[in-house]
Each structure stands twice: as C-alpha cells, then as structure tokens.
Amino acid sequence: MSILVGDQTRLLVQGITGREGAFHTQQMVQYGTNVVAGVTPGRGGQEVAGAPVFNTVAEAVEKTHPNCSIIFVPAPAAPDAIREAVASRIPLIVTITEGVPVLDMIPLYHYVRDHGARLIGPNCPGLISPGKAKVGIMPGHIHRPGSIGIVSRSGTLTYEVVAALTARGYGQSTAVGIGGDPIIGTSFVDVLKLFEADGQTRAMVLIGEIGGDAEERAAAYIKAHIRKPVVAFIAGRTAPPGKRMGHAGAIISGTAGTAQEKIAALRAAGVQVADTPDQVADLIASARIPRDDA
C-alpha cells in the first residue's frame, strides 16, 4: 500500500504548457506517473509529454477522468486554479506554487474542505509513493519502495533524509511535503493519521522547522493516537527571533515557535528527535525497524 498517490493515480497538470509545468510533467511521466491530461487556457489541442492539453479543467475531467491535479500556475492565478479543480470534483489537489497570499488561503482552506477535497500545499514539493507515482518536483532516483512514511514542511530536508534512509536500506511507503506556508491544506496530523492506518508503513519520520505550532499539535496527536515508531528532525535551532528562515511560515514570533519548544513537545510524546538530518536513519535503525533491502 501507500497513501494518497499510487498505481491508481490519474494525474491532471494545471499550467502544463509553462516552463515549470512542462519540465516537471516530463519528469513525472518518465518516472511512471500516469499523467492523463493538462490544462492551459487557450492552449487546448496541444500535447505535452504525450498528455492532451485542454482549455478548462471541466473539459479535461469530462474527457480523461483524473483523480488528482497538480498546480504549476503562477501565484496570482493559483487560488482560482485550485477552486476550478475543486469545482470539477477532483479529490486530491497538489499545489507547488509559492507566494500564494495568506489572505487568499484563508477562505480557500475552508472552501476545499467544505467540498470534500484534499489540498497538499501550497509552496510544497508534492509527494511520491516510490515505484508507483511521483506527483511533484522531488528527485525520484533517491527514493526506494519501502516501509518508512515521511511527512515534511521542507523539500530539501526531505531529500537529505530520504537519501540517508535509502543508503541504509530503508525505503519509503510515501513521502509527503505538506509545504512551509503559514496556511496549508494538509497538516502533519492529517498525514500521520493516514500513515498509522497504512499497512505498508512500519514507522514514520516527521520533519519540521521553526514557526507556528504544527509540530506541537502533531506531538499531542502522536502521544494520544500513534502506536508506530516516530522519528523527527526540527530545523532552525539557531534561528534568531523575528527573522524569517526560508519558508514564509518559518518565523519565531515572541517566545513561540522555537525549535527547542517543538523538540521538547515531541520528546515528551515519546518521539526520538535527531540532531542532524542524516541521524534520522540511525534512529530508525535503533527502533529495530526491518530494513527493506534485507
């Protein structure tokens, strides 16, 4: 098994004819993802990487029946692109776009949930179920099929941890980049629930960073509901207050949102917290999780 994407995924790419959309569509197709269509208004009738291009999402859904959409639309138009996908009843929407205004995301967050859809992102690398489907911009070659579920606010830190796990013989069931903006569609807790219920996932890795209280909320949920081993890494231990570090949501406000607070909450919930990204693999091994290449 895996979560959210897999062999059953039929992917629609919104913004498929743009530079980023076209490049990553080619990469996803080469990985083996079933890209059934793309959308760019005014470009209907073209093809990108073998996928037909339509003028609207509604037309693409009628003709090709996607069950997942990935959005490479520029920030000013991204909220409307998300709404168009939701209105066309696509259940999973992955938004790579960064720079989507918080004021746009507040009503959009509720719109997506009220209509029964799930949004990953914005400002995220996407997700991958190794050997099955890649829906995003992550490097597919470092991933291997396996039993470790990964959920992360950071794309590059995810790649570091995945490379270390793969080198130690631990593959991944699914790796999910939820995004680093202040308001995102899917939280740590949402993904942890799915991993806990997934028969393939034996252990989980949570990668967090300074800012907000998402990691503290995850720690409380882990303590109350998660029975599988969880290992974490929190970035930003030396970050100064009031300075945004990379992601829009990675900022310490007053005394809240520090790495130290997050690490303490996770350890109190029984989570092993690594000091460095590559130490995650060591902690997974110490939890006696069977290697996937054994």
List active site positions. 247
* Contact between residue 75 and residue 100 where contact means Cβ atoms under 8 Å apart: yes
Give the burial class of 285: count Cβ atoms within 10 A of its Cβ; 0-12 exposed, 13-18 middle, 19 or more buried: middle
Report d(CA 251, CA 292) in Å as an integer. Answer: 37
Residue length of the chain: 294
Its sign, for the CA torsion 101, 106, 109, 110, is negative
Tokens of 190: 């949402």
Bond from prior residue into 241 cis (ω within 30 degrees of 0):
no
Cα within 13 Å of Cα(229), Cβ side: 17
CA–CA dist 179, 249 (Å, integer): 9
Find the angle CA(130)-CA(131)-CA(132) to the nearest 5 degrees: 90
82-117 in b/e form (b: 16+ CB < 10 A) is bbbbbebebebbbbbbbebeeebbeebeebbeeeeb
Could you tell me if 176 and 153 are in contact, meaning their C-beta atoms sit under 8 angstroms apart? no
Q: At 35, is the secondary structure helix, strand, or coil?
A: strand
